[in-house]
Amino acid sequence: MSELDKRFIDPIINASRPGTLAGLSLSVLKISSEQDPDIIKYSLGLGAVMFLLSAFFIFFYTLYPMLRRLWTFTALTFLAGLVTSIISSILLILIT
C-alpha cells in the first residue's frame, strides 16, 4: 500500500472504532421496550452521540495531528460515551 493510500485509509479505520460503539448503543436503544424509563433511552442516545463525536474528532485528528485540541476532544467524548454506556447498562440490569 502506498503512503498516499495509507494517509487516506487510516482516518477511516480510526473513526470506525468509536463509530461501531455508537452503532451498538443505537441498536440497544432500538430494541429496548417501550416500558423502559426515559433515563435509559436518554443515556443510550447520549452515549451514541458521544461516540459519534469521538469518531468525528479522531477522523480529523488523524488527518491533522498538529491540532492537539482534536485529540483532547476525542478523549473527552470517548470517555463520556463510555460512562453513559456503563450507566445505561447498570440501569438496564437493575430495572429489568
Q: Which domain holds residue 17?
A: 3-95
- pLDDT digits over 2-30, tens only? 777 777 888 888 899 999 999 999 998 88
* C-alpha span between 1 and 17 (Å, rounded): 21
For the chain, the domain total comes to: 1
With residue 40 as reference, give the H or E element that holds it.
Answer: helix 38-63
pLDDT score of 1 more than 70: no
pTM: 0.88
